[in-house]
Structure 1
Amino acid sequence: MNSVLIVEDDGDIRAMLARGLSAEGFAVDLAGGVDEALSAARERVPEAVLLDNMLPDGTGQDVCRSLREGGYPGAILFLSAKDEVGDRVEGLSVGADDYIVKPFVFDELLARLRVHLQRRRAAGEARTLMTAGRLSLDLATRQVRFGETTARLTQREAELLAILMEQASRPVTRGDIFDRLWASQGGLSLNVVDVYVGYLRTKLADIARAGGPSLVTVRGRGFMLDLHEAGFRQ
């Protein structure tokens, strides 16, 4: 079943969308503001977000930007009464897949939503599974596996492991990791890398004990996923 988060402060529009999408077989969650939307998206990770631009505690652009910076992989469609070209360009520039102007016809919205879900799903199937040696990471479920030993990661832990898997058996500097995962958020220091490396190392402990790759620190060079094919050791 497809899942969708509707972020809309107008109760009538929110109810109409919920009824229509539920009738089409969607699992629907509702939010009326920025904070509520981000909390709901983190808790259940919908496949799509329908996003009003004008919200009581901020804008839909705030929601879209935060979701994309946090690695949200689903479809985001703006539903907005603001119909200037600049508004549309700004909405798309923060990571939305589509911008639909109110008032809209529900059947057209449904058709566009399904197209974006199909495109996202096809793209996800092509890039969801990463491997390094005998270690595999499913980016969709955030499950890492080595033989019969598995671990479940958070979104940010999975993104960190993906970077290390791309460069398996080669060190990646703190700066490079920070730039890819945290630089755009502001207010954070390089120490956040060490914190998440610690989290990830704990999650991979059983895999390392089973003879799989381990996450090691290479002094003066950064961090490395050691496939036990190179001479580096912590």
Structure 2
Amino acid sequence: MTILVVEDDPDIGSLLRRGLGEEGYAVHVVDTGAAALPEARRLAPEAIILDVMLPDHSGIEICRSLRAEGFAMPIVMLSAKAAISERAEGLEAGADDYVVKPFAFGELVARLKTHMLRRSDAPQSGRYLTAAPLTLDLETRIARIGEAETRLTERESALLVVLMRAAGRPVARGDIFDQLWADQGGASLNVVDVYVGYLRHKLGEITPPGQQLIVTVRGRGFMFKADG
């Protein structure tokens, strides 16, 4: 699982990179607000730790921009400002939590894990659906890995949503058919295999060589094979 840290203090950035890495996360650190949004779009991280006082932009505004673009991952803000009004501003901007510096690393990790668990248990909403390394824009039906992207048809996108929401677990052909084709007169179970083939072809255009995102689990159906 990937965490994006936006923090201009090199000591804190190093602490978070090392500590979160030891917790098993892939950690990417940027030290400016200007880099935050492009990096969030590129990585589609599972969570963001965002400093409020950056040298070029306010973390509050970055948080608002992330939410406006449809990013639904947990955002934990860090700040030396402890006033209730300032905490409220961060939460109103869309942050899930507001941690005051100096902070205890263990407490920060515990809060972060709690928010990530809540999000994973809740139905995913917003414009973007992410199962690393893939992000699907639900409005444009563009699937993206890093800078590479491909546009899906409405039915391909619907199939990918079903598989991504069950990432790491096989979905039976019959279950997929019932969700997407049961109301289509004349459709047979074979249509699932046909569209899985279409989807594999398109995702293969943006997936690194040798990597397959949709795998067949013999006797159980198809599974989206997410990282982590």
Using the size of structure 1 for normalisation, the TM-score is 0.57
Structure 1 counterpart SS, 2:122: helix
Decide whether the 8 Å contact of 1:4 with 1:27 is kept in 2: yes
Decide whether the 8 Å contact of 2:129 with 2:137 is kept in 1: no
Flag structure 2 segments of 5+ consecutive residues without an equivalent.
143-149, 157-182, 186-228
Flag structure 1 segments of 5+ consecutive residues without an equivalent.
129-137, 143-151, 160-199, 208-226, 230-234
- Higher Cα Rg: structure 1 or 2? 1
Decide whether the 8 Å contact of 1:139 with 1:158 is kept in 2: no
**Residue identity in the other structure for 2:19:** G
Q: Report the Cα distance in structure 2 between the residues aligned to 1:153 and 1:75, rounded to whole angstroms.
A: 18
Note the alpha carbon deviations across 1:116-160, whole angstroms, 9 max, x for none.
0000100136x69xxxxxxxxx94459xxxxxxxxx85354249x
Q: Report the Cα distance in structure 1 between the residues aligned to 2:155 and 2:87, rounded to whole angstroms.
A: 48
Decide whether the 8 Å contact of 1:61 with 1:94 is kept in 2: yes
Structure 1 counterpart SS, 2:103: coil
For residues 164-203 of structure 1, the aligned pairs below 5 Å read 203=152
Q: Report the Cα distance in structure 2 between the residues aligned to 1:91 and 1:141, rounded to whole angstroms.
A: 27
Larger RCO of the pair (alpha carbons < 8 Å, separation 6+):
2
User: How big is the shift at 1:228?
Assistant: 8.3
Structure 2 counterpart SS, 1:17: helix
In structure 2, what is the equivalent of residue 178 of structure 1? none
Note the alpha carbon deviations across 1:208-234, whole angstroms, 9 max, x for none.
xxxxxxxxxxxxxxxxxxx989xxxxx
Q: Structure 1 65/206 Cα, relative in aligned 2: closer, same or farther at 3 Å?
A: closer
Q: Report the Cα distance in structure 1 between the residues aligned to 2:138 and 2:42, rounded to whole angstroms.
A: 12
User: How big is the shift at 1:73?
Assistant: 1.4
Q: Structure 1 81/120 Cα, relative in aligned 2: closer, same or farther at 3 Å?
A: same
**Residue identity in the other structure for 1:74:** M
In structure 2, what is the equivalent of residue 83 of structure 1? 82
User: How big is the shift at 1:31?
Assistant: 0.9
User: How big is the shift at 1:203?
Assistant: 3.4
Decide whether the 8 Å contact of 1:71 with 1:155 is kept in 2: no
**Residue identity in the other structure for 1:60:** G
Decide whether the 8 Å contact of 2:32 with 2:57 is kept in 1: yes
Using the size of structure 2 for normalisation, the TM-score is 0.59
User: How big is the shift at 1:84?
Assistant: 0.5
In structure 2, what is the equivalent of residue 52 of structure 1? 51
Q: Report the Cα distance in structure 2 between the residues aligned to 1:101 and 1:111, rounded to whole angstroms.
A: 15
Q: Report the Cα distance in structure 1 between the residues aligned to 2:136 and 2:16, rounded to whole angstroms.
A: 33
Q: Report the Cα distance in structure 1 between the residues aligned to 2:21 and 2:131, rounded to whole angstroms.
A: 24
Note the alpha carbon deviations across 1:52-109, whole angstroms, 9 max, x for none.
0001111111111111000101000001001000100000001000000000000000
**Pairs aligned (count):** 149
**Residue identity in the other structure for 1:204:** T
Note the alpha carbon deviations across 1:12-31, whole angstroms, 9 max, x for none.
11001111000110100111
